[in-house]
Structure 1
Amino acid sequence: MPTYRYRAKDRAGKTVTGSLTAEDKHATARILRDKGLWPMEIELSGDSSPVRTKRTGAATATQGHPTTATRTRAWSAPGVPLKDLAVYFRQLAGAVHSGMPLSRCMEIMRDQSGGTLKKVSAEAADAVHHGHPLSVTFARHPRLFSPLILATLRAGEVGGRLDDALNRIAEMLERQYELNRKIKQQTFSAKFTLGIAVLICIVVKVVLSSISSEGAQIGRGFGNAIVPGAGGLVALYCLGVVIARLGTRSRLLDQVKLAFPLLGKVTRGMALARFSHGLAGLYRAGVPMAEALETAAQASGNQIFAEQIQSAIPAVQRGRRLVEALTPTGVLPPMALNMVRTGEESGNLDEMLDKVAEYAEAEAAMATHSLATAVGPLLILFVGVLVGMEVINFALSYAGALGAM
């Protein structure tokens, strides 16, 4: 059997080199994964043309023959509830952290999951067994795994800290679920009031129309404010659900998120936290800073934020310090820039980036609480305005009917 030279990363993110005898490059990659190593390059000993596992911030792929999973008919997994997806990633992170081979971890997830996640786990277990990255399989299901999840996963693969990346994904999904839950609680009374108001409008309109022609004239304008207003809110909610289910991302939508006062603070804080965690892991693993910035920027989950970060890459490639490259972008607040500067001067940049992420997460948590608290009263105020308009419309219709008698 031929001998292959390899370069891989261990669980600590350190680069490991060596050689081993195997049937082919897929078998070599499988053996390395079983040992807890992540292959970065596999080269046939004595051959001038290496076979590499290529990794960049934008894509992660393994060259070679297609696996059993890729030969099967292509399919796209539908979305699953946010809570179920968060539990899935939390369990997968625990399995990977235990030191088991990734293929075995995916087999465990296949056995204990159901429905869509079971089918995806089976496909991923087969792909990983043949030496392909986990992110390649997950990328085939955009409705289930968002671009943010995929970028964070790739950052963990490149940095050799897959368990940390999976934990961050689980925490992100848990925070999103908690925010959705809080907003539902805060807005329940307002939504209930709006529903009752719409029902009253419909009932009164029907009753007045059935009494007499004068009643029909009085009730003609009743509901002209509440019904369209409620319909607009329902349509906006349905649009948001469709966008979330389809995993659609757009630059305009990301820009709108940043523009809203409270929502923008939450979005920017979470994007900064994801970017900082990703950059810290990549830097710790020895990934070149320019490549680390590209991958970590994509892991931020916001295209506007990512573009601002990526604008600093040319300066880094010219040899500028990270803090000098990031300052003109205006992405990081002054406190975070000072922490980055301290990390560069002390040689503990990865630790300081983790501190920046913790600071950003704390700021985002406070903004999230404020957002969830503010949505309820704002919706109540909106309903109050609609009810007031209905009262005015009814009074005018009633006065007009009396004048016509």
Structure 2
Amino acid sequence: MGAFSFKALDGKGNNKSGVLEADNARQVRQQLREQGLIPLEVEQVAERDKRPSSGFNLFRPKISSSELALLTRQMATLVESALPIEEALLAVAEQCEKARLKNMMMAVRSKVVEGHSLADAMAEFPTIFDNLYRAMVAAGEKSGHLDTVLNRLADYTEKRDQTRSQIIQALIYPSLMLTIAMLVVIALLTQVVPKIVGQFDTMGQDLPMITKVMIAISDWLRDYVLFLFAAIVLLIIVIQRLLQHPALRLKYHRLLLRLPLIGKVSRGLNTARFARTLSILTSSAVPLLESMRIAGGVLENLHIKNALADAAERVKEGSSLRAALEKTKMFPPMMMHMIASGERSGELQQMLGRAADNQDREFEALINVSLKVFEPLLIVGMAGIVMFIVMAILQPILALNQMVNI
């Protein structure tokens, strides 16, 4: 039995949509006809979700981290109340307001009713329930502590969403300031400066070099500003396409790690995510090697991901976790000492969690310092540009005044 989403017409010609459970699409159409509906479209939910898409997925509906955290928390609460898993999934599906989420949960429930495990049922939606999520659910099912694991997953998802929000909020203000500054400068050079400089042409005097440079920049912007914006958009699209190739993406990620400030932020985010993910997996009774493989897979930086794959091989050969991670040269010394202490005391998962918390605090401090440094630099840069424009305009006027006084 599977979950099928449908679109149909009632006797008055109104559109109806929803989800029905059946063995095949034919049974769904029969159920709709028995209800007096005319079926227009019937499609199995899991098959539709796994269908490959072409082009950009900008407008494709996706589940957000906050929505996933809420679904996970609801499942944990219901399972903790000793409700059977299929009933818990049905209750969560009925609670969903969005049709996509409801269809997904009904499809997962259908798989569970057929006899599949919850982790296997979630594998029908790999873009929503990633390897980390499914591995933890599988471990929770085997250990009989699914409610505890789901609560940990909800906490982890909320923490990841909070970190992402911090990054976005940190980038919004400087990006907005930089954009406004660029627009103001372009407006000055393309609209205001030509009207003022036009007065100099009637004087017939030789203009200073700084004024000639400003006029040349102004003329170029007026003629090619649209081409400039088009070139920037095209460059972004080309870079995105090139980064789809693994070899080029690996070189790009290596370059990011070498940059003075961006490299430190990227390394800190990835190592903190690895430590937190490894802590959650090991505390959920997932074997260490499997935990390292999954934790490395959730990282965004391909170079760090490859380095951690090599570290997992060294652990497999008998190396300690601290020694294997130390050879990657990606983790700070404080984290290495905390991991070594956790291995000696048998409290590795707790020490990994503390190490991740420490990295998060360092990241927040680094973002705050960066913003405090960026703001005065932007102001100084804008002041320099405005000073250049003012001097380019004032010098011919001052020269003319000197000629009149003579």
Q: What percent identity do the matched residue pairs reach?
A: 16
Deviation at 1:135, TM superposition (A): 5.2
| Partners of 2:257 and 2:266 within 8 A in 1 | yes
Q: TM-score, normalised by structure 2?
A: 0.63
Where do residues 222-237 of structure 1 align in structure 2 (5 Å cutoff)? 222-223=217-218, 235=232
Counterpart residue number, 1:90: 69
| Partners of 1:273 and 1:360 within 8 A in 2 | yes
CA RMSD, Structure 1 to Structure 2 (Å)? 4.6
Select the residue among 44, 47, 72 that pairs with 1:68. Answer: 44
Where do residues 207-222 of structure 1 align in structure 2 (5 Å cutoff)? 207-208=195-196, 214=202, 220-222=215-217
Deviation at 1:335, TM superposition (A): 1.6
Select the residue among 85, 92, 105 that pairs with 1:108. Answer: 92
Quickly say closer, same or farther: Cα 1:315–1:364, change in 2 above 3 A: same
Deviation at 1:247, TM superposition (A): 9.9
Q: Secondary structure at the match of 1:221?
A: helix
| Partners of 1:274 and 1:300 within 8 A in 2 | yes
Q: Secondary structure at the match of 1:301?
A: coil
Deviation at 1:296, TM superposition (A): 0.8
Deviation at 1:207, TM superposition (A): 2.6
- In structure 2, what is the Cα distance between the partners aligned to 1:102 and 1:138? 20
Counterpart residue number, 1:15: none
Deviations 1:100-147 (A, max 9, x none): 438845863675444xxx4255235314531444354142xxxxx6xx
Deviation at 1:70, TM superposition (A): 3.5
Counterpart residue number, 1:153: 133
Structure having the larger proportion of residues in helix: 2
Counterpart residue number, 2:297: 298
Select the residue among 155, 160, 168 that pairs with 1:167. Answer: 155
Quickly say closer, same or farther: Cα 1:319–1:384, change in 2 above 3 A: same
Q: Secondary structure at the match of 1:376?
A: helix
Relative contact order (C-alpha < 8 Å, sep 6+): which is higher?
1
Deviations 1:301-356 (A, max 9, x none): 32222112111122211122212222222222222111111111111111111111
Quickly say closer, same or farther: Cα 1:291–1:384, change in 2 above 3 A: same
Quickly say closer, same or farther: Cα 1:225–1:133, change in 2 above 3 A: farther
In our comparison, the structure showing a higher alpha carbon Rg is 2
Counterpart residue number, 2:369: 370
| Partners of 2:93 and 2:101 within 8 A in 1 | no
Counterpart residue number, 2:266: 267
Deviation at 1:169, TM superposition (A): 2.6
| Partners of 2:253 and 2:303 within 8 A in 1 | yes
- In structure 2, what is the Cα distance between the partners aligned to 1:99 and 1:323? 39
Counterpart residue number, 1:330: 329
Deviation at 1:297, TM superposition (A): 1.0
Counterpart residue number, 2:378: 379
- In structure 2, what is the Cα distance between the partners aligned to 1:257 and 1:106? 45
Quickly say closer, same or farther: Cα 1:339–1:178, change in 2 above 3 A: closer
Select the residue among 182, 201, 206 that pairs with 2:189. Answer: 201
- Which shifted more, 389-398 or 336-345? 389-398
| Partners of 1:107 and 1:122 within 8 A in 2 | no
- In structure 1, what is the Cα distance between the partners aligned to 2:160 and 2:289? 25
- In structure 2, what is the Cα distance between the partners aligned to 1:324 and 1:332? 11
Select the residue among 76, 99, 103 that pairs with 1:122. Answer: 103
Counterpart residue number, 1:47: none
Counterpart residue number, 1:285: 284
| Partners of 2:133 and 2:153 within 8 A in 1 | yes
Q: Secondary structure at the match of 2:156?
A: helix
Quickly say closer, same or farther: Cα 1:369–1:331, change in 2 above 3 A: same
- In structure 1, what is the Cα distance between the partners aligned to 2:390 and 2:165? 38
Deviation at 1:178, TM superposition (A): 2.8
- In structure 2, what is the Cα distance between the partners aligned to 1:262 and 1:304? 17
Quickly say closer, same or farther: Cα 1:110–1:393, change in 2 above 3 A: farther
Q: Secondary structure at the match of 2:286?
A: coil
Deviations 1:67-95 (A, max 9, x none): 93234482659458999824313322321
Counterpart residue number, 2:317: 318
Q: How many residues align?
A: 324
Which stretches in structure 2 are left out of the alignment for 5+ residues? Answer: 1-22, 24-42, 80-84, 141-148, 402-406
Deviations 1:164-210 (A, max 9, x none): 23432332222222332233234544543332222122212553587
Select the residue among 178, 183, 186 that pairs with 2:171. Answer: 183
| Partners of 1:187 and 1:379 within 8 A in 2 | no
Quickly say closer, same or farther: Cα 1:257–1:388, change in 2 above 3 A: farther
| Partners of 2:276 and 2:356 within 8 A in 1 | yes
Deviations 1:213-261 (A, max 9, x none): 6599977425369888995799389939x969x9999334433432333
Structure 1 residue identity aligned to 2:326: T
Structure 1 residue identity aligned to 2:258: A
Counterpart residue number, 2:236: 239
Q: Secondary structure at the match of 1:358?
A: helix
Q: TM-score, normalised by structure 1?
A: 0.64
Counterpart residue number, 1:29: none
Counterpart residue number, 1:63: none
